[in-house]
Structure 1
Amino acid sequence: MRPNFLFLLTDDQGPWAVPWKMPELQMPNLAQLGQEGKIFDEFYCASPVCSPARASLMTGRMPSAHGVHDWLAIKDTTYPESPRYLEGIDTLPQLLKGGGYYVGHAGKWHLGDASSNPPGFDYFWSHRFGGGRYYNAPIWQDGQQAEEPGYFTDGIGRHATEFFDQYQAEGEDRPFYLQLWTTAPHDPWDSENHPAELLAPYQDCEFPSVPRPPAHPWTRARMQQFNWAFADPQRALAGYSAALGGVDRLLGQVREELEKRGLADNTIIVYQADNGFSCGHHGIWGKGNGTYPLNFWENSVKVPCVLYFPPKLQEELGITNLETDTTAASATSFLPTICDFAQVAKPVDPLCDAPSLRSRCTQTTGEDQANGEVVAVFDEYGGGRMIRVGDYKLVLRHQGPTELYHLGNDPEEANNLAQERENDPQIEAVISRLSHQLEEYFFTHQTQAFNGYELPVTGCGQHEPMWIDKGTASFHQGLVTEAELAAHPEIETDFSGEYWWR
């Protein structure tokens, strides 16, 4: 019998924000899942902001091959006025449904229209936008605008139960795939947005494991959203941790539901975040768009990732390696990995060619390591692209600074080696080699229609699919005129002489 899948995806959870790295964080259910499952400790999203990262999970493609390049400014209307962004591309829900799976979703979607079931879903319940308040959150209910009356993360749990009821009534002769996508721990983090019992453990916590360096200069154009967090990090961290406490409660409740219904022994659980996040780390609050220029620091591009296999499935699937994996892996491998375990053919698509991670769970060493190959991972956000090979990490930009870090010697990314390239032939050689590899990769992993490298992606939102408008109208430009700048003297110029506003 083929396995079921439960995929719990969080929103803005940094790779540091897990109980095995942050002692103050109370997430006992996630801690247990990590102890029982396999942790991928060097797992990279495809883009350090939510909508592009989620689109890559659903397609196995990079943003320049699926066309979602920034968080989506969703229209509060129904399809077709509110477009679907992945039309014409094989998505994981479509592949699994076509392969005989019963497919469900509850929570944040943020990939276009969510007023009705996107292709591939038998069950679908969604937030209307991409985030916001946790109580009375805007949702779609039977194609109508509505509000979720309770705490949104708990609402996802209620709809998970509803999915299982529907599945056992309609589709129990098939395996299931259910994705629960939270808005947590995305802000807001104030006491009016989270239950008192989730905030209480952090009332007097000073969060000693979280660094508090001074604000990085690149935050100047984006300070407005998180000014208060810089000023009162304890309160912000308490709210962030409380939001994750709600996710942990959801994880525990759903695992209990699987046990109660006799589904646990055949269900693979995947826990992951869409993109990373910094809560003061590196001098920023935010993710890739927490700065301008957009950043690719480790806390923005790395995410928590745990795969759990119940004992019965470990034996059936040959799962013998549950050691923490410290070799880099890409979120573009998510679709191939699920298809591999589900025995469903992944698309014959050269733009979706990342390897399945199954061999890393069935061999003592990963397949790439065993063959003596060096694993490379890639990331992109608008006019910025990143490659990591071994300890070296290079960021190239269409406009703006080049960055090179040696993560083994400089895990905090404090020393940009690219600044030494003119005086150090070895540094120049590394940059040349990685630049060639980066350019070669994207040459074969982008389409002419969706290539985002020269588009004006600022981190302030995408408004239209690229087949409607491939120019500046699709992307929010922020403050660009001298008159607007004069009205906001706190805004700083960036390296290109233009002006940006969050």
Structure 2
Amino acid sequence: MASRDLNAPNILFILSDDHGAWAMGCAGNEEIVTPNLDRLASTGIRFESFFCASPVCSPARASILTGMIPSQHGVQDYLRKGNSTFLPADGEEIDYLEGRRAYTDVLSEAGYACGLSGKWHLGHSALPQMGFSYWNVHASGGSNYYDAPMIVDGEFSQPEGYVSDVITDNALDFLTDQLDSAAPFSLNVHYTAPHAPWNRENHPAELFDDYYENCAFDSTPVENIHPNQLQKDLQAATVGDNEETRRSALSGYYAAVTAMDTNIGRLLDWLESNGLRENTLVVFTADNGMNMGHHGIWGKGNGTYPPNMFDTAVKVPTLVSRPGHVPQDLVCAKLLSQYDFMPTLLGYVGIEDSSADALPGRDFSPILRGESLGDGSPVFVLDEYGPTRMIRTDRWKYVHRYSDGSHELFDLANDPAEAHNLVDESRFAEKIVELKQELENWFDRYADPHIDGSKQNVMGRGQLGLVGSESYPKPFADDVVFYSDRG
């Protein structure tokens, strides 16, 4: 009946899509309904300073799995091409992570049954990869919520129903199959929620209508549209430029979160009813954060050009729970990142990884055991989106743009809303030099010079092929249209 060996716990890794750290009840949002995320927080640890490796889906997802930064694994924008030949707008299959090694590869080799249900969006969706023996995935990176395109056993289908329900149904099928085995499992459940579209037709009507008619949405700011806001189609975002579009977008976004939360409850209930909750490490996080009007932006890092690195885009909600083993009802403020997941998950289950020395991440599994990180506590985290890079400490954030746009410096202790860019103030010149040097030293250590993102023409409009390959002389799209220039 799956693993009951305390030294080989099961792993349930739940990933949401475009989910701001602010969009959970347990994070202080009194308007959004998330009883099951709150349940995880009360039975585990909520990490309030957890960051993505890149504020866009595909690079962040690759970093979670491989422990590499985008300038190591080569996925540096959302994958616009190479996902599936089943999709007319795509029509290609590219193995973006060929030759890379994921923590799920290591787990599989150690005897774990590894399954993936939901969003992949890392190329060649018909091909099971990264040690996953169960593979039931979304064909692309996003779609309508009903009749979503899915691939299982190399076959394309569009199962009826709401996609968060479908992903959960498939995950429960995998879990049920584990009841006949004593081997531990590692199940990744990757929702497409709460990624756009957010219109009423894409979500349960009763949820959408309840938010639309009854929620004040005081939990998100009302600001003028950012001058660098990009034009978005409905599959990417709705720009809330008036009261109606704002209310509609937020109703869909909140409804998507709540519907996903209900399905997370189904997974937790299954673990409890089968006596596996105490021997399953449950991790919930997101690929990237999300601006829903924050800073006047509707979108994640590529809501603007050049990309933005505001905390609302780069902070991700992160919860870890295992009753009786992980401390309960704890909030951790340590600076941590997605590139820390691979060493942490392997460290938690006691599996050594020979590639660890080449990776930037740190094992924070002592926190999950109620122990101290000691001298291993990180003092900064770093982020990248092509030529835009960020270094952040508890107090300072410095954003350096190697191509377009200006640099930024924020004093987070005195300006947590990141409203005042101090980069041109001479009194902070030494601080800027110090942070820039730390940033460059770190990327010099870990970035592969052949695919270094700071030298790529990443404009937030999608990746079309492999970086550094003669077969793809133009690996990134550049069809940027600003919202102010829309037709």
Question: If the length of structure 2 is used for normalisation, what is the TM-score?
Answer: 0.92
Q: What count of residue pairs does the alignment treat as equivalent?
A: 470
Q: Deviations over 1:318-355 (max 9, x none)?
A: x4575201121111111111101122222424331411
Q: Does 1:101 align with 2:109?
A: no
Question: Residue 458 of structure 1 corresponds to which residue in structure 2?
Answer: 459
Aligned partner (choices 108, 126, 143) of residue 154 of structure 2: 143
Q: Of residues 331, 335, 339 in structure 1, which corresponds to 2:346? A: 339
**For the structure 1 residues 33 and 371, does the alpha-carbon distance in structure 2 shift closer, same or farther, using more than 3 Å as the test?**
same
Compared with structure 1, are the counterparts of its residues 18 and 392 closer, same or farther at alpha carbon in structure 2 (3 Å cutoff)? same
1:17 aligned to 2:23? Answer: yes
Paired residue type of 2:335:
A
Correspondence for 2:208 among 192, 199, 202: 199
* Alignment deviations for residues 139-159 of structure 1 (CA, whole Å, 9 cap, x no partner): 113312211211100001110
Cα separation, partners in 2 of 1:255 and 1:437, compared to 1, 3 Å = same
- Go from structure 1 to structure 2 and tell me whether the alpha carbon gap of 1:375 and 1:489 turns closer, same or farther (over 3 Å shift): closer
Q: Contact conserved, 2:288 with 2:315, CA < 8 A, in 1?
A: yes
Counterpart contact for 2:16–2:285, Cα < 8 Å:
yes
Q: Percent identity?
A: 38
CA contact (8 A) 2:277 2:322 kept: no
Q: Is 1:321–1:362's contact at 8 Å kept on the other side of the alignment?
A: no
Does residue 77 of structure 1 match 2:85? yes
Q: Partners of 2:228 and 2:104 in 1: how far apart? A: 38
The alignment's C-alpha RMSD in Å is 2.2
**CA gap 1:181/1:216 in 2 versus in 1, 3 angstroms:** same
- Report the equivalent of 2:40: 33
Cα pair 2:465 2:472 within 8 Å, conserved: no
Shift of 1:196: 1.9
Residue equivalent to 1:438: 439
Task: Supply the AA of the counterpart residue of 2:345.
Answer: I
Q: How far is 1:245 from its partner?
A: 1.1
3-state SS of paired residue (2:485) = coil
Structure 2 residues without counterparts, runs of 5 or longer = none
2:268 matches 1:264? no
Aligned to 1:293: 306
Q: Deviation per CA, 1:163-219: give whole Å up to 9, x if none.
A: 0233234xx221000010000000111111111232243132121121111111111
- Matched residue of 1:136: which SS? coil
d(CA) in 1 for partners of 2:316, 2:470: 31
From the superposition, tell whether residues 363 and 91 of structure 1 become closer, same or farther in structure 2 (CA, over 3 Å): same
Task: State the SS of the aligned residue for 2:76.
Answer: coil
- Whether contact under 8 Å (2:135, 2:152) holds in the other structure is no
Structure-2 separation of matches of 1:102 and 1:297: 38
SS at match of 2:295: helix
Deviation, 1:411, is 0.7
Contact 1:65–1:351 under 8 Å retained in 2:
no
SS at match of 1:252: helix
Distance apart, 1:472 and its partner CA: 5.4
1:482 aligns with none
Is the CA contact 1:46–1:331 (under 8 Å) kept in the aligned structure 2? yes
**Of 180, 185, 201, the match for 1:176:** 185
Query: Cα distance, 1:373 vs. partner?
Result: 6.0
1:67 aligns with 2:94: no
Q: Deviations over 1:83-115 (max 9, x none)?
A: 221111111111110111110000000011111
Separation in 1, partners of 2:418, 2:10: 40
Instruction: Write out per-residue CA displacement over residues 427-476 of structure 1, whole angstroms, 9 at most, x where no aligned residue.
Output: 01000011110000000111123211111100000011225348751100
Are 2:293 and 1:284 equivalent residues in the alignment?
A: no
The yes-or-no answer on 1:419 pairing with 2:424 is yes
Find the aligned partners of 1:181 and 1:262 in 2 and give their Cα distance.
23
SS in 2 for 1:229: coil
Q: Is the 8 Å Cα contact of residues 42 and 328 (structure 2) preserved in structure 1?
A: no
Written as runs of structure 1 = structure 2, the 5 A alignment for 1:370-381 is 370-371=374-375, 375-381=379-385
User: Which of the numbers 176, 201, 208 marks the counterpart of 2:218?
Assistant: 208
State the one-letter code of the partner of 2:389. R
Change (3 A) 1:363 1:344: same
